[in-house]
Structure formats: C-alpha cells, structure tokens
Amino acid sequence: MNTTFSLAWRLFKHEARRGELTIILFAIVLSVAAVLSLSLFSERLQAALTDRTAQFLAADRTLYSDDPIDPAWLSKAEAMGLAHAHQVSTRSMAFGEQQMSLTDLRAVNLDYPLKGAVKVAPEPFATASETSELPQIGEAWIDSRLFQLLDVRLGDSIEIGDANFSVARVLGEIPDAGFSVFATDPIVLIRQEDVEATNVIGPGSRVNFKYYFAGDSSALNAYYDWLEPQLDDEIHNWRSVEDDDSPIGRSVGRAEQYFLLASLLAIILAAVSIAVAAQRYSQRHYDPVAIMKTLGASRQMVQRIYLLQITFITLLGIVIGAALGVAIQQVVVWAIADQVDVSMDMWHWRPLIIAVFTGTVCAVLFSLYPLLKLFTVPPLRVLRRDLGAGLSSRMIQFLAAGSAIFLLMWAYSQNLKISAILFVSGIVLVASLLVVTHGLIALGRKLGQGRMGPWQLAWARIRRRALDNSVQLISFSVTIMLLLVVLVMRNDMIKQWRDQLPEGTPNYFLINITETQKPQLQQHFAKNDVESDKFYPVVRGRFVAINDERIRTNVTKEDEEDSNEGRQGLGREANLTWSLELQDQNVVVEGEWLTAWQPGQPYPVSVEKEAAQRMDIKLGDVLTFNIGSEVVSTTVTSLRDVNWQTMQPNFFFVLHPEAMKAFSPTYITSFHLAEERKPEITALMQPFASVTLFDVDARINQLRDVVEQVSMAVEFILVLVLAAGSLVLIAQVQASMDERQQELAILRTLGAKGTLIRLSVIYEFLIVGIVAGLMAALTNELSLYLLQSQVFQMNGSLHPEYWLIAPAVGAVIVGVLGALGCWRLLKLNTSQLLRQMV
C-alpha cells in the first residue's frame, strides 16, 4: 500500500509539474469554479433582490390579522431574535374645512418600517425623498392627492373620526403601499398612539392589524414553524417575500429561476468537460498501465494507483477551483457594485458545498468509465502498440453519465421540471446526433471518394472517427446548445421586462372625470401638448350575487391587501367598465368576446380569469350587480387572461355598452409627463379640481429600478456562463487535437504537404462545428419552448435567426480553434511529432 501511494503520488507530482494533468485538472477546476461562482453570485444576488423585495413589504414577513394578536406572539418573536413592528389600518373619512374624502388610514408604531423607507415630499406631487422620521403624536402625513381632495395645505388641520391632526408632511410613499393605482384611497399615516382618540376602531368597522417581522431567514422560518399551528385561516394571513405576486416579485422570481437554470447549465458543462478530459486522460495512460502490468504490477495495484491519482487530481482541482470561483465571483460583485447592491458580508456555505460536491461527483462518475477501461489495458500493449482497452459498452457510459447528470441537476435545483426539461432536450440532442453522425458517414463515403484533396481527407477522417468521437461531437453540441439556451432565454426575458415598461409608460392616472369634463380635458391636454391615453368609462357597482347565491361582502378578505391593481374592490365594490373593444394585453381564453352578443339575449359580461377562478365563476353564470339603486344581471360569456404586469387600467368585469346605457359613468385615463415637465402638473390640473390625480412615477421607477438591476444580474450570469462554455470548447478542441497528433505525424512522414494537412483539419473542424451548431440550435428550440412555457410562464417563440447563426458561429469558433491547434502541431517537425507519439 505504501509503495502504491508513493508511486501514485510521484506520478501525480511529475504529471502536474509537467503540465500533463492540465486538461483534466482544468476541467475539474472549471466545473468547481463555474458552479461555485455562479451559485455564490446568484445566492448573493438573490439575497440582495429578496432584500429589495422586502422593501415593498416593509418587512421580511408580515402577518395580517382581523383581530389584535396575542402579545405573547410578539414576545416570542423578540425572543427568537426577530425585529417587529405593527400597523393598524382601516378606511376612514377625513374632513378638511369644506371637503371630505375616504382615506386609507394607517397607524404605525415607531419601529415601522422594518425594511425600506418612508418618503416625504416638500409639497404635493413633488419628488419625494427618504426620511427616517415618522409622524409625531397628533400629526398626520397625507398623500398628495388628499391635499387636493380636502383642499388643505401643510400646517392645516384635518379631522379623522373624533380626533384632529395637523398636516405635517406630504407623504410621498410608504414601502408597503402596494402597486395598486386605482380604487385605493389616499393614504394617511399617523402614529398608533393616536388611534384610540379617533374612535374609528370599534364594533362594525373593518380594521386590519398588520404585524411586520424581519430577521435572518432561519429565525423567520423557525418562528413561523412555531406560529403556524396557532394561526386561524379565517383570521390570519402570513406572507413572505416569496409570496410576492407583484410585477416586482414576478420579475425577481423569474430572475431567480434563470440563475438556477444557469447554474444547472454550468453543472452540465462541467460534467461534459470532465467526461471529455477523463477520456483523454485515460487514453494517455494506456502505456504506463501496460508497462506497470508488464513489470508485474497486479490489477489491484494498478487500480489503487489510479484511484489515488484521480483523488489527488480531484482534490487539487477542487482547491484551485474553489479559490478561483470565489475570486471570479468577487470580481463580478465589485464590477457591478454600482448597479446592484450586493452585500458581501454574508458568506454562503451552500454554494461551496454544492461546488465541491459537484466537482467530486463529476470527477468520480465521469472518470469511472474511462478508468475502468484503463484498467483493462493488456500488458501485451508493450509489444503490440495498437492494442487498446478491452471494455467498450458505450451505452453503459451514456446511461451512467446521463443519470449522473440528471441526479446532480435534480439534487441541486430540487426542481424536477427544469431538470427534466434540460435532460430530455439533452437526450433528444444526443439521439439525433447519433442519427446525424450515421448520415454523415454515409454522406462522407460519397463525398470522400476521388482524389485525396483536403476535403476528401477531412471527410475520410470524420467518417473513420465519427462514432469513436461521437463523444466529442456531442460535447460540442451540448456546449453550444447550453450557451444558446442561456443567451436566448436572457434575450427573451429582458425584452419582456422592457416591454412591460416602455418609454412613455403613463406615470399619472386620472379618475373621476365626468362626462362633461371629458372633452374639456382632452382639449386642454392637446393644447398643453400632453398626450392622454384612452378614456375608460367606469361605474362603481356592488357585486351581489352569482346565479342565486348571494355573496358575502368580504369574500376576498385577503385581497384587500393584494397588490394587483384592480383586484381591490372585488369584495365590496367593483369598477365596472364597458367596451366593445378588447383591451391591449387582454386575451379571451374561454367563450366569446362581447361583440358576439345579439339583441334580445341576456347582457353579457367578460370576467378576468383568475378572479373567476377564485370566486368559482363559470361561463354561463349569471352575475348580479347593484349600481346605485338599479340591479343589473349579466351572463358570463367570456373569461379573459389579463397581463397585470402592465401599467394600464385593468378590469375584472367588462360589460356590454348596451347594458350600461342608463348609467352616467366617470372616466379613467392616464398620461405620460416627462420628468422635466413634472413641475407643470399642478397648473395643468388646476381647471379640473374635482378630478383625482394619481402619481405613479415612484412606483414605475421602483419597478424600473428592480428590472434594471435584475437585468444587469442576468447579464452577468450570462457572461459567466458564456465564459465557462467557451473555455470548455477550447479544452475540447485541444483534447481532440492531441488525438490527431499521431495521424498528422504519419501524414507528414508520408510526405503530405503542410497546407493539405492544415486545410483538411480546418475543414474537418468546420464540418463538426456546423453540425454541432445546427443541432444545438434545433434542440435549443425544444428546451426553450419547454422552459418558457412550463417554468418561466412566458410565451414560447421560435428563434429562426439562430438556426443560421449557431452553425455559422459554431463553424467559425470550432474551425479557428482547430486551425490554431493544428498550426501548433504543424510547427513541430516530424521527428518531434514521432517522438511525442511513443
């Protein structure tokens, strides 16, 4: 054993020093470094993004409750190291001198907010900035709108319930205001100590108690585990950052999925490169094994020596890879520090464990087969140089490699869907490649005939080695395919994000425009060069029954706080609109649009799909609304899919204009005002005092900000994966170059001209590159379609441009790399080549 160890160690030492381990070491280093840097980076990013999202909750977790909770729950949270804050909110009337308005009253304690910040503006509708202060006792900070609605100024006093408050600041923004731009009442922020005096909280009033918690996630999870059994579904609702269904939450969620995907791809890349390198490593050791066996080494001894060697290599690879991975990740974090606020103070162990695990598993599993093969090399090889290894059941190799990759992906992502999609695409790719190689062989037989030109030589070589080196072709294709997946996915994703908020997205909304004001407003805007959007007629209606079943007014209690715009009011009052035109970004998914209605039939209504699902509304159901004193019955004729991520008014219920003829609506519209024109807003709206103005710039900017950061992060991940992939490609070409060495030497000794050889090698690589690129582009479509439709909730689309780009780029890259490698070989003279052969 001692001899074995020292022999193994000596071989390892010399080979490492002489650079003979470069390729396999490189593969392991690459896999560990790529997996580590990617997952470390994405873990950090996720932490940063989660933190960002937490700012929209004002906490990491929140607990909504209809009643005040047991104070013991809060002490427990404190004991577990969590920070907490609370808020009591209700809808209440506020009174100015003359005017009154319904408000969203929020009374908070001094610890609010745990995440994010309250913003105040120097005057209504001006740009808000962060403050660390909160209202003093007796003060109210009120929304810009409310200044308009109540006709008050800073320093005036307003009345809420039985109490008087002095209007101390313009409330620009609170973190958990929600993304809703309609049907929300202007917010009034006061201190919790003042609530009692108002007397607005009493029997019959709808009050929400909200508790905020922040801390590290393990403590939060532990707390929830403790709390959960005591919660009552009817009364309590626990929310975490991950439940965030707002546009921001979705963007971040999608980005996280992308990071996961990228890390998985890194794992596959790593596996592929290790497989290639291990095969080559094994081939290079046929001679030493034959020599050792000839000199009397037992099979067991040879096995031990090489298992030890692989262990040494793996260990070294892991150490270097880990160091490199941390370094890369650090550099990337520094590079984007300006754009994305990624905290460096937390060290994440999971990525390191994953990386080491991946490196080990890949090294072991993918070198296992080549090693087993190596062990079977007969001693007779010392005399008969053409003797290779005995073992050859490629099927087993593919099976073992495939299941290893699949298990790794699954274990890592814990997402069966993504793993399965990537795996299936991989299988399809490999299978079609095998078919294609056979086709190529047949084709090559035809083309390869005739005079021995470079093309003939190239085809002949491909034909001869096609099956032998199908591993190589597969690894090229898989690498290119993976690169395409991350690239195209990123393009599609970022495009969708950008489309969501194009330049000129409306940043102001107007509601309560009367029929008579509508033309005046349009004129006024035209004169002032402001372009307004469509005017949507709106009538408030109380949704009272589905078929004969009366509905509780608070069916959707939780939705009260839901952040999807338009969803509020579903409980008590709904905004009803009517139009024969289907709105942008709306798609009828069931039934027929309103235009199919014929006079004489019951009035039709189109319902938003998710709302319908929640309230169990089916096509053909009769929905009854109370509008004023009238009762309107409508039959559901269509369900719509609505893109909630757009900043446009969206409605749950769209009715037929015919049904609403009797009602006089108010109108909603939106418009965009460029940043530099913001000061004009007060003057612009001056003539329309009764029209309510919403400034959603802050929300849009927040959303844009997050989208920018997330895009940036995605961009960097893409670069990392591309870099890793290119390195793998280089390693692959390098490895296959070495295999050609012998052949080149023989051609050279036979007197073949340098140009002939060089051209033939370049052509060979070109052909391989084209085939690999094309196959990669085609299978890319499959995996993208599956990923986008099944995982990313995007509409899949074809990308025909890549069907040309990928083969072209594949051919160029693989061809150039091949030419470079070949040039290096041809620089050596024949005797050097021959010397290297033996």
Partner 1 sequence: MIKTKNITKRVTTSEGELQILQPISFDVKAGESVAIVGASGSGKSTLLSLLAGLDQVSDGEIFLDGAGLHDMDEEQRARLRGDKVGFIFQSFMLVQSLTALENIMLPAEIAGMDNPQKRAQDILDMVGLAHRGQHYPNQLSGGEQQRVAIARAFITNPQILFADEPTGNLDAKNSEKIEDLLFKLNQESNTTLVLVTHDNELAQRCQRQLQMHAGELTEITENATDTMHKQAV
Footprint of partner 1 (CB under 8 A): 3, 6-7, 10-11, 14-15, 18, 20, 287-288, 290-299, 301, 378-380, 382-385, 835-836, 838
Least Å distance, CB 469 to partner 1, is 21
Least Å distance, CB 456 to partner 1, is 24
C-beta of 379 vs 402, nearer to partner 1? 379
The helix or strand, by DSSP H or E, that contains position 209, with its residue range, turns out to be strand 207-214
C-beta of 379 vs 754, nearer to partner 1? 379
C-beta of 4 vs 635, nearer to partner 1? 4
Long-range contacts of 800-809 (CB under 8 A, 24+ apart): 802/484, 802/488, 802/777, 803/774, 803/777, 803/778, 805/777, 806/480, 806/484, 806/773, 806/774, 806/776, 806/777, 806/780, 807/769, 807/770, 807/771, 807/773, 807/774, 807/777, 808/770, 808/773, 809/480, 809/773
The helix or strand, by DSSP H or E, that contains position 443, with its residue range, turns out to be helix 416-447
Least Å distance, CB 301 to partner 1, is 7
Least Å distance, CB 379 to partner 1, is 5
Residue with tokens 């298992």: 307
Q: What does the alpha-carbon distance between residue 353 and residue 45 come to, in Å, rounded to a whole number?
A: 18
CA geometry: angle 54, 118, 197, nearest 5 deg: 110
C-beta of 391 vs 428, nearer to partner 1? 391
Intra-chain end-to-end CA distance of the chain, in Å: 30
The CA-based diameter of the chain, rounded to the nearest angstrom, is 109
C-beta of 382 vs 756, nearer to partner 1? 382
Amino acid letter for position 75: S
Least Å distance, CB 390 to partner 1, is 11
Looking at residue 675, the DSSP 8-state letter turns out to be G
C-beta of 236 vs 463, nearer to partner 1? 463
Least Å distance, CB 382 to partner 1, is 5
C-beta of 386 vs 503, nearer to partner 1? 386
C-beta of 380 vs 719, nearer to partner 1? 380
Helix (H), strand (E), coil (C) string for 472-539: HHHHHHHHHHHHHHHHHHHHHHHHHHHHHCCCCCCCEEEEEECCCHHHHHHHHHHHCCCCECCCEEEE
Least Å distance, CB 356 to partner 1, is 27
C-beta of 3 vs 789, nearer to partner 1? 3
Q: What does the alpha-carbon distance between residue 766 and residue 730 come to, in Å, rounded to a whole number?
A: 15
Question: Hey, how many other C-beta atoms are within 10 angstroms of the C-beta on 114?
Answer: 22
Question: Hey, how many other C-beta atoms are within 10 angstroms of the C-beta on 552?
Answer: 8
Least Å distance, CB 384 to partner 1, is 7
241 touches 60 (CB < 8 A): yes
Which residues 6+ apart lie within 8 Å of 146 measured at CB? 94, 101, 103, 152, 186, 188
User: Quick one: 301 exposed, middle or buried, by C-beta within 10 A (0-12, 13-18, 19+)?
Assistant: middle
Q: How far is CA 494 from CA 44, 484, 711, in A?
A: 20, 15, 6
Which spans in 297-344 are helix H?
A: 299-335
Least Å distance, CB 314 to partner 1, is 18
C-beta of 203 vs 296, nearer to partner 1? 296
Least Å distance, CB 25 to partner 1, is 14
Q: What share of the chain is helix, strand, coil (3-state, %, to 5)?
A: 55, 15, 25
Residue with tokens 């799909």: 609
Least Å distance, CB 838 to partner 1, is 5
C-beta of 392 vs 547, nearer to partner 1? 392
Least Å distance, CB 374 to partner 1, is 14
C-beta of 527 vs 827, nearer to partner 1? 827
Exposure string over 686-712, b if 16+ CB within 10 A, otherwise e = eebeebbbbbbbbbbebbeebbebbbb
559 touches 599 (CB < 8 A): no
